[in-house]
Amino acid sequence: MGTILVTGAAGFLGSHLVERLLDEGDAVTGLDSFDDYYDPAVKRRNLAPALARGCALVEGDVRDEALVARVLEGNDFDAVAHLAARPGTRPSLAKAALYDDVNARGTLVVLDAARAAGVRRFVLASSSSVYGASKETPFREDAPCLAPVSPYAASKRAAELYAEVWARLHGMAVTVLRYFTAYGPRQRPEMAIHKFARLIETGEPLPFFGDGTSARDYTYVDDIVAGTVAALRRSGDFRTCNLGEGAMTTLAELVALLEKALGKRAKLNRLPDQPGDVSVTCADVTRAKEDLGYRPSTPLAEGLERFVEWFRKGGA
């Protein structure tokens, strides 16, 4: 048990993480700006069950240095889980400066406030996007990550580098977690699985980019959260770990699995590949297994069934 600050607490992954920490007896404070990347009312619904169970909430932006310092100095936090970020590769193409400000500078603000407050353990949520357009699969953490293909990916890589510097300068136990396409209940509404399910359900055409052979490593939210909690418990030096399922599913296969889970056929609006997208992602999770005891246990077909059950109960 401990006292933990979770930034981005009202988001998809953040709200699940907060609930898991409460289940394990931790005292949790959430920090969230409730920005308008998607409907803030959805985020408030995400976090409502945790607030009812005693999670404290601070509304504010991770770029607000005075606020973040006040939150961290006013509580004896054992660890920080920094999940707050501006998401999305495609939107970042039009708003590169914003992505840099939130994802890179915002991370630096939280890191430095944690250092000043004497926090010893820090977990940074990063992304498989930092691997760029590499076709050497599975992706390993020792890859150089020098060729991101979107401002989003570049901003997350910059955040990783800040985290590594702070770990080495200040002796913080920092773990960078590279998440691979998380999905499950509460998934953001613009992400492929949620968006595709909504369009298939209503009989509308779904955007089908490329020839269907692009592939992703889809990782169920419970597996992501289990790995994140394990990282919050670890001590030691700087570490980077992939959190994925360790398997690839093509876009065509994903649509077929969603059709099966929904019991409906998809209508496809075939479109060219999009700038900022990569053709393949796949995680080597050997290090996470060794360092965190990470054992992803939810195959995609099973995870999609759970997602559809939530979706049809009014998930938004």
What is d(CA 96, CA 65) in angstroms, rounded to the nearest whole number? 21
Burial letters for 222-251: b for 16+ Cβ neighbours within 10 Å, e otherwise? bbbbbbbbbbbebeeebbbbbbbbbbbbbb
* Catalytic residue selected from 37, 38, 99, 152: 152
Tokens of 282: 């796949």
In the numeric block, the tokens 């900022």 are attached to 276
Residue 210: left (phi > 0), alpha (psi -120 to 50), or beta? Answer: left
Contacts for 142 with CB less than 8 Å, ≥ 6 apart: none
How many other CB atoms are found less than 10 A from the CB of residue 10? 27
Whether the Cβ atoms of residue 262 and residue 201 lie closer than 8 Å to each other:
yes
Tell me the C-alpha distance between 288 and 9, whole Å. Answer: 23
Query: Helix 221-233 crosses helix 12-23 at what angle (to 10 degrees)?
Result: 60
Whether 179 is a known active-site residue: answer no
Return d(Cα 301, Cα 256) in angstroms, integer.
Answer: 10
Tell me the C-alpha distance between 23 and 101, whole Å. Answer: 33
Residue 3 in 3-state DSSP? strand
Using CA of residue 220, residue 222, residue 224, residue 226, what is the dihedral sign? negative
Where in the sequence numbering do the catalytic residues fall? 152
